[in-house]
Amino acid sequence: VDTLRLATNTLLWERDGIVLRIEADISRDEAARIAVSWEPTAG
């Protein structure tokens, strides 16, 4: 099934071979701060 979904305020980035996505009602600067601070958890 093909689905179309429009999203706003979305940031995608790649770190250590993992693609991450933030979709939230936050500013670009806030999303960038989250992206920079993200660290994977062990486990």
Task: Summarize the confidence of residues 9-38 as an average pLDDT.
Answer: 91
Name the pLDDT band for 1 (thresholds 50, 70, 90): low
- Mean pLDDT on 8-21: 90
- Residue 26: per-residue pLDDT: 94
Averaged pLDDT score across all residues of the chain: 87
Total count of domains within the chain = 1
Instruction: Give the Cα-Cα-Cα angle 11, 25, 4 (nearest 5 degrees).
Output: 65
- Distance (Å) of CA 3 to CA 6, 17, 22, 26, 43: 10, 26, 20, 25, 33
pLDDT at 4 over 80: yes
Range of the domain at 43: 1-43
For the whole model, what pTM was predicted? 0.65
**The pLDDT value given to residue 42:** 72
